Amino acid sequence: MTAVLAMADSGREFDLSDRDFSRVCRLIHAHAGISLNESKRNMVYSRLARRLRERELSSFAAYLDLLETEESGEWQDFVNALTTNLTSFFREAHHFEMLADLLAATPSGKQVALWSAACSTGEEPYSMAMSARDARDASAPTARILATDIDTQVLETARRGVYRDDNVARLDRDLVQRHFQRGTGSNSGLARVKKELRDMVSFRQFNLLQPAWPMTEKFAAIFCRNVMIYFDKPTQRGIMERIAARLEPRGILFIGHSENLLWARDLFEPCGRTAYRLAGCGEGN
């Protein structure tokens, strides 16, 4: 009986009025660039209802008032709750083949910088690291990978580099053996990315919307995949202008399978499936 009451309490209903929902949409758009619409209403409700319970609040209005109080310390949890973090190892495998070719063609001894600009729980930058290591022979370049995301919770998971076996189950067995340590005892069912790969990746929190971008170096490849879909066109344009400024002249930008940059032909030209080079720096130049 106690358990049922506890469940009823944790499943407590709140009223998400149109006004509250519009406020959520306005705040997350201003802070993270994420555009939500009516189709996301249930998602917003279920993810933020957990925050209301956590903060022991009885209404969305009270939660949003608290959020807008500077000292609430709630902003990061609000953002973490509303991001969508779906990812996987070697998602869109052709990008990693192109990356390996790019690295193999880089002059020997040159250290290359790579950037995973919305890295989520780390599968993407670790896949980049695996591709870089496997493409490398004695004369090939080493790679340093910057991996950033706005969401601090996913970054914690990414830094640990520990994944459930089913996350690596579909990968080539030899690759798993080369790059992962299988857990034993209380860690069985888990696989950890090996230290030499973890050492290649630096995870940092970074909001693509923030006005000052701290990175000064240029990248040989930038993965900015499956994040632009959440942004409106003016936001996408601003981010793509800045990404163009951080790509090496012959560098490659990879974007998500449902994204395209046909609207930014002055900045980028296609060089493969959902892969782009700077305009004027293509194969023929």
Is 77 a residue of the active site? no
Nearest approach, Cβ of 80 to ligand SAM (angstroms)? 8
Query: Can residue 207 be called a binding residue for ligand SAM (CB under 6 A)?
Result: yes
Is the separation of the CB atoms in 25 and 64 below 8 Å?
no
- To which residue do tokens 């130049």 refer? 285
Is 26 a residue of the active site? no
Nearest approach, Cβ of 12 to ligand SAM (angstroms)? 27
Closer Cβ to ligand SAM, 14 or 90, answer by number: 90
Encoded one letter per residue, x for contact with ligand SAM by CB under 6 A and - for no contact, window 152-171 reads --x-----------------
Closer Cβ to ligand SAM, 62 or 75, answer by number: 75
Q: What Å distances lie between residue 237 and 211, 232, 241, CA to CA?
A: 14, 9, 6
Alpha-carbon distance of 111 to 223, in angstroms, equals 18
Query: Can residue 131 be called a binding residue for ligand SAM (CB under 6 A)?
Result: no
If we measure between CA atoms, which residue out of 114, 120, 113 comes closest to residue 150?
A: 120
Closer Cβ to ligand SAM, 145 or 208, answer by number: 208
SS3 253: strand
User: How many Cα atoms are found within 13 Å in the side-chain-facing hemisphere of 122?
Assistant: 26
CA 137: distance to chain centroid? 29
Alpha-carbon distance of 146 to 119, in angstroms, equals 9
With residue 125 as reference, give the H or E element that holds it. Answer: helix 123-135
Residue in 106, 120, 127, 274 binding ligand SAM, rule: CB under 6 A? 120
Nearest approach, Cβ of 65 to ligand SAM (angstroms)? 24
Query: Can residue 84 be called a binding residue for ligand SAM (CB under 6 A)?
Result: yes
Residues that bind ligand SAM (CB under 6 A): 32-34, 83-87, 91, 118, 120, 124, 149-151, 154, 207-209, 225-227, 230, 256
Give the catalytic positions in this structure.
47, 149
